[in-house]
Structure 1
Amino acid sequence: MESEQGRASAARRETIDLPRASPGTTRQIEVLRFGTPGARPKVHLQAGLHADELPGMLVLHRLAALLSEATIAGEIVLVPIANPIGLAQHVQGLLRGRVEANTSANFNRGYADLAPAAGDALDGQLGTDAAANVAAIRGAMATALADLAPASELDAMRQALLGLALDADIVLDLHADSEALVHLYTGTPLWPDAADLAGDLGAAAVLLAEVSGGNPFDEALSGPWWALARRFPDAAIPPACLAVTVELRSNNDVDAALADQDAAAILRFLVRRGVVAGEAAPPPASVEATPLDAMAQVIAPAAGIVVYRAPLGAALAEGDLVAEIVDPLGETVAVRARTAGILFTRHEQPIAWPGKVIGKIAGAVTLPERVGPLLGD
């Protein structure tokens, strides 16, 4: 197996054992590594953190095949199945992998905030050398992570995934939505740096926030950089981790052609970023990113069957008809857009009850009700 920098190589496999949740059972995180350890840029890609969101797993399977034939200039860490706990949660013939069955904890929330401990350790040590500061911050964050004592299998899995990605320059966490177009979530300071990724993937929306609430995986890796920059305003601290949650359409869009298309798009992005050797054409133009607190949730006001009147990708004006909710025994209620923007998700199960979110619109104007946790659960 060839693994020298600048040469094509097969993946090196690594297994991380999780603590036993019950006698006689063990679970592992399987890791595929490409390139030279310690080479830059380093990229971490994972899929299936919400274990019932399947398209990303197939995409990384296809990407691994492409990388095995490529010349890797940096280092790539691939975790095609990031959540073996959730992948084992079979309930009445269905996979339920968004939350842990035992605690109802969302698998993509609750990651450690390493900024406070890292900041305490670095007080008075950061200066005007950005590269030196990046190295020092990564070291302090690694120490803070190692000092944590996981109390459960889930905590250990979160800690292991953070450990794999903590020193990465780029992190892509692949998800999928109920019924959706490709869209991205990332930190406000990371835009427009992520615009080429959005263009390559053909994203219909890019949602920006410094703090979205709940400390999801991508924010646990990117957020400390701007938190520490605020804490130490005289130090040169760049946003050194481009972390993005990539929503690859709908949960059920498991399709060979789409997986090949998405894997090729990610490979082009990696080539352009100097992680994989080669030349990549300029990316297609990206959509304009919009604030996450301007994203309108389309909320059902009544119970009944949802009949969508606006297709995914529709450019809506405020007041436009999004859907009708039909009570089979009674009235039909119109549901209208509360803001102008792109309808980028709908709910795959067309039944509503009061308060249910049946769609999302990427708007440009901050909405007064969008405070607190912005992602939902």
Structure 2
Amino acid sequence: MQRFDHVLRSQSLGSQKTLSSFHFGTPGARPKVYIQASLHAEELPGMLAAHHLRRLLEQAEALGQIQGEVVLVPMANPIGLAQRVDHKPMGRFDLNTSENFNRHYPDLCAAVWPQVQNKLGPDAAANVETIRQAIGAYLDSWQPGTEIASQRKYLVSLAYDADVVLDLHCDCEAVLHLYTETPCWPAFEPLARLLGAQAVLLAKGSGGLSFDECLSGVWWQLADKYAETLPDAATTAPIPQACISTTVELRGELDVSHALASADASAIRGYLQHLGVVGGTAPALPDLACAATPLAGAQFVKSPVPGVLVFAAKPGDRLAVGDLIAEIIDPIHDSVHALRAEVPGVMYARTLERYATPEDDLANIAGSVAFRTGNLLGA
């Protein structure tokens, strides 16, 4: 194992933050897997899972079982981890810019298309190498002007040439679920089985330029763009989905325990064995706990009124249309506002708050029929 410490651009005199990455196996070996945790810094289950996964990777490396390359960043957001206001962690948004730490990553397709469009040919592997070199050159030339931009640059630079990217997050209160782009889903089905995911949300570009979609999106976007230019591009200049990425939501913010983290780390190791990046006997795949559904079919339950929030449904409950999700109580006017499911599906997440104000996001239900458009992600 090799450890590298990446010093972020200083935002203030006398202040410096460092991002650490741990590298297993042989640099440049395939497949390459990149795993990071706690990009939203108050989401700690992934950080603890990464702690347990590091031990498993160290053991595998000692036995000579790392057959590819694994890069692990167990704490992906030193900026957010240091942010507290009134004794409360503030790890989702950068207090300096008000930007979400998991948005505003570079549009790599737009960045490299002018450089690669005339260099692609009939060899898919050569095309992948051409595109990766162009992305690497773009990242080398990127001169970040702020601390958060330098953090984004380091994270993307560590991951852009990976075959597989796992971004470990969690929700407020939730069952384990995954977000991934539609072209990536078949390759992630074993991971969903091993983790016991109770919801899988699919989209082809959900908006917001999140970290994971920055890395997987460039490949299908370039393929689509080239097809627009050359209708038979799939055969004359094939561009495969050379990177698959997913956001893994490891339940809720309070689900921080060695038992859960150890089980999640073991499941991820099992997935790495299925990929062939870690040796040993890959575990048998259990049944898939859910069907994948479109992110555009998810009901994001919002509060229409202020009041005390009382949930009737909990994460993991399967709801029918009309089932009661929660009530919002106004004790001044003695009113009760009922919130009901508008789509059938599993309620996979809900807020930790118990006082609601208008337009607050309260809960998510994984519906099977797409109906939403535009930016599909929350704040």
2:349 aligned with 1:315? no
Q: TM-score, normalised by structure 2?
A: 0.94
Match of 1:349 in 2: 353
Select between 59-68 and 19-28 the one with higher mean Cα deviation.
19-28
2:300 to 297, 302, 327: 297
> In structure 1, the residue corresponding to 2:212 is in which secondary structure?
helix
Q: CA RMSD in A?
A: 1.0
1:307 maps to a residue whose letter is V
Asked if 2 retains the 8 angstrom alpha-carbon contact of 1:122 and 1:137, the reply is yes
Note the 1:250-261 alignment, pairs <5 A. 250-261=252-263
Task: Note the alpha carbon deviations across 1:227-268, whole angstroms, 9 max, x for none.
Answer: 100111212111111100111000111111001010000000
1:292 maps to a residue whose letter is L
> In structure 2, the residue corresponding to 1:207 is in which secondary structure?
strand
Match of 1:5 in 2: none
CA–CA distance in 2 between the matches of 1:284 and 1:238? 28
CA–CA distance in 2 between the matches of 1:256 and 1:300? 35
Match of 2:40 in 1: 50
Match of 1:7 in 2: none
2:109 aligned with 1:115? yes
Deviation at 1:333, TM superposition (A): 1.3
Deviation at 1:14, TM superposition (A): 0.6
Deviation at 1:31, TM superposition (A): 0.8
CA–CA distance in 2 between the matches of 1:25 and 1:346? 36
Match of 1:364 in 2: 368
Match of 1:13 in 2: 3
CA–CA distance in 1 between the matches of 2:18 and 2:118? 40
Asked if 2 retains the 8 angstrom alpha-carbon contact of 1:313 and 1:344, the reply is yes
Task: Note the alpha carbon deviations across 1:72-129, whole angstroms, 9 max, x for none.
Answer: 1110000011111111102111211000011110000000011123111112221221
CA–CA distance in 1 between the matches of 2:295 and 2:136? 29
Percent of residue pairs bearing the same amino acid type? 50
Note the 1:214-233 alignment, pairs <5 A. 214-233=208-227
Match of 2:239 in 1: 237
The number of aligned residues is 365
Note the 1:24-43 alignment, pairs <5 A. 24-43=14-33
CA–CA distance in 2 between the matches of 1:284 and 1:118? 40
Asked if 2 retains the 8 angstrom alpha-carbon contact of 1:29 and 1:82, the reply is yes
> In structure 2, the residue corresponding to 1:19 is in which secondary structure?
coil
Task: Note the alpha carbon deviations across 1:19-72, whole angstroms, 9 max, x for none.
Answer: 111111111111111101011100100011111111100100100001111121
Note the 1:269-308 alignment, pairs <5 A. 269-286=271-288, 287-308=290-311
Deviation at 1:311, TM superposition (A): 2.2
1:199 maps to a residue whose letter is R
> In structure 2, the residue corresponding to 1:192 is in which secondary structure?
helix
Asked if 2 retains the 8 angstrom alpha-carbon contact of 1:183 and 1:249, the reply is yes
Asked if 2 retains the 8 angstrom alpha-carbon contact of 1:111 and 1:215, the reply is yes
2:161 maps to a residue whose letter is D
Deviation at 1:313, TM superposition (A): 1.2
Deviation at 1:335, TM superposition (A): 0.5
Which structure is higher in helix share? Answer: 2
- What stretches of structure 1 move > 2 A for 4+ residues in a row? none
Asked if 2 retains the 8 angstrom alpha-carbon contact of 1:48 and 1:56, the reply is yes
Match of 1:139 in 2: 133
2:339 to 335, 338, 357: 335
2:80 aligned with 1:90? no
CA–CA distance in 1 between the matches of 2:122 and 2:144? 35
Q: TM-score, normalised by structure 1?
A: 0.95
Note the 1:142-157 alignment, pairs <5 A. 142-157=136-151
> In structure 1, the residue corresponding to 2:24 is in which secondary structure?
strand
CA–CA distance in 2 between the matches of 1:302 and 1:42? 48
Match of 1:4 in 2: none
> In structure 1, the residue corresponding to 2:97 is in which secondary structure?
coil
1:198 maps to a residue whose letter is A
Match of 1:205 in 2: 199
CA–CA distance in 2 between the matches of 1:105 and 1:117? 21
Asked if 2 retains the 8 angstrom alpha-carbon contact of 1:114 and 1:145, the reply is no
CA–CA distance in 2 between the matches of 1:316 and 1:129? 49
2:55 aligned with 1:61? no
CA–CA distance in 1 between the matches of 2:9 and 2:187? 38
